[in-house]
Every structure is written in structure tokens, then in C-alpha cells.
């Protein structure tokens, strides 16, 4: 593990995204075939964004993601897979990714949206066939080693967020207010309080590479 904040596996996946992008703004979804992502198999998901849709369509959920979610969301819209009150918060990191046109790293704390008592690390990588419209997201999810780090350093409660600096030198910490000009193809936040909830304990950063 090269970094306690962005694991070695996720860091290598960011490097692969950069390699596949080349001189373009974004790599294509087709660049991430089974052979290319073989070391992350099971932890990879693929979401499709369509110009005429207000949500994201789950093309693939890896076996470990299915285990983490407790269900296989493949072939369903992401917004239909979570409770209505959680839709905006689930889509929020994708809006950040679209707005900043760059990979996004998220650390979900224990109990987030009724989840388990473990930290989860999620990486969202944007893809585009025409190099302009982001039409797919490659998503990787792993159980985080962050809790072990906190335990080893005796860090508890509200101190945890102060122990999460940017995971790479050129990463930028964000909060909900940092997202502007939400694209028309993604629904705006409408649930009361969700903009604040999106940053309460949830660590989000854009990785500019």
C-alpha cells in the first residue's frame, strides 16, 4: 500500500486511466476491457450516462460490489436502487466528476446511508467516446484500510476528517458548495438538507491528473 489515503490498487487504477487517456481529455469505456482491469476484477462497476436520462444506468456490478451492496444492480437505473431520500446524495459525486471533468475519490464512513460499520473507498473515473460528453463511469469500490490507520493512531470521532489530507499531491478537497453549473442531464439536488448531508463525514476529492 503506497498511501494510507488512496490505496495502491486505486492509485494504480488512476494511473491506468491516465495511460488510456493519452492526449485526449478522457479515455473511452472500451479502453477498460476485462484484460485491462484484470487486477481489479470484482471491484469494478460500469455506469452509463445517457443524454436524455436523468439518472445513471448500471451496466456492470462486480462481484465484490454486489457483496458490499447486498444486491446486484446490473441492468437497473442507479436512482431506482436506493431509497428516494438517498438518490441525490448517491448521485452527488458523479455531478462533481462531470463538473470538474476529472476522477473523483470518495471515502464513505461507517453507517453512511444505512451501510455497514466499515469505511469504503470509491473511485469514479469518467470516460467519453467523443472526448466531450462523459458517457460512462468506471467505478472501483474497496473496503478501506482507513479504520485500521485510525485505530493504530488513536484517532476517534470528529477527529477523523482532519486525518484525511489529499490522497495525491494534486488532489483538491471539495465540499458540496464547490459544485456549480450542474449539467442539465443530471438532476439537481432537491431533497431538503442533502447538500449538507453529502459532506457530513463523507470525504470527497477531485484528482486532477
Residues near 164 by Cβ (< 8 Å), separated by ≥ 6?
A: 5, 107, 146, 203
Spatial separation of the C-alpha atoms in residues 45 and 55, rounded to whole Å: 16
The C-alpha angle 89, 34, 58, rounded to 5 degrees, equals 30
* Every domain of the chain and the residues it spans: 8-207
What is the reported pLDDT for 198? 38
Q: What is the pLDDT along the chain (209 residues), one digit of tens a residue?
A: 233 367 889 999 999 999 999 999 999 999 999 999 999 999 999 999 988 666 899 999 999 999 888 889 999 999 888 888 888 888 889 999 999 999 999 887 776 545 567 788 999 999 999 999 999 999 999 988 776 666 666 655 544 444 444 444 444 444 333 333 333 333 333 322 222 233 445 678 888 88
Q: Grid coordinates standing for 89?
A: 446524495
What is the reported pLDDT for 148? 67
What is the reported pLDDT for 16? 97
What is the reported pLDDT for 119? 82
Task: Say whether pTM exceeds 0.85.
Answer: no
Spatial separation of the C-alpha atoms in residues 136 and 178, rounded to whole Å: 22
What is the reported pLDDT for 208? 85
Tens of pLDDT, residue by residue over 126-178, are 999 999 999 999 999 998 877 666 666 665 554 444 444 444 444 444 433 33
Q: Tell me the CATH number for domain 8-207.
A: 3.30.450.20
Among 195, 19, 17, 193, smallest CA distance to 104 is for 17
Amino acid at each position: 500500500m503506497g498511501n494510507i489515503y488512496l490505496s495502491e490498487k486505486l492509485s494504480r487504477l488512476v494511473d491506468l486511466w491516465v495511460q488510456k487517456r493519452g492526449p485526449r481529455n478522457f479515455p473511452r469505456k472500451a479502453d477498460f476491457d476485462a484484460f485491462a482491469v484484470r487486477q481489479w476484477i470484482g471491484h469494478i462497476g460500469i455506469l452509463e450516462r445517457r443524454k436524455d436520462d436523468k439518472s445513471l444506468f448500471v451496466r456492470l456490478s462486480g462481484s465484490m460490489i454486489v457483496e458490499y451492496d447486498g444486491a446486484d444492480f446490473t441492468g437497473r437505473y442507479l436512482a431506482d436502487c436506493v431509497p428516494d431520500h438517498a438518490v441525490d446524495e448517491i448521485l452527488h459525486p458523479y455531478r462533481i466528476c462531470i463538473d470538474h471533468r476529472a476522477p473523483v475519490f470518495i471515502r464513505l464512513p461507517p453507517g453512511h446511508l444505512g451501510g455497514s460499520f466499515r469505511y469504503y473507498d470509491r473511485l469514479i473515473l469518467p470516460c467519453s467516446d467523443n472526448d466531450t460528453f462523459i458517457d460512462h463511469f468506471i467505478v472501483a469500490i474497496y473496503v478501506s484500510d482507513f479504520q485500521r490507520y485510525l485505530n493504530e493512531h488513536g484517532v476517534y470521532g470528529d477527529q477523523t476528517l482532519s486525518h484525511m489530507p489529499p490522497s495525491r499531491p494534486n488532489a483538491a478537497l471539495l465540499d458540496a458548495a464547490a459544485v456549480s453549473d450542474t449539467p442539465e442531464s443530471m438532476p439537481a439536488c432537491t431533497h431538503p438538507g442533502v447538500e449538507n448531508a453529502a459532506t457530513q463525514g463523507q470525504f470527497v476529492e477531485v484528482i486532477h491528473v
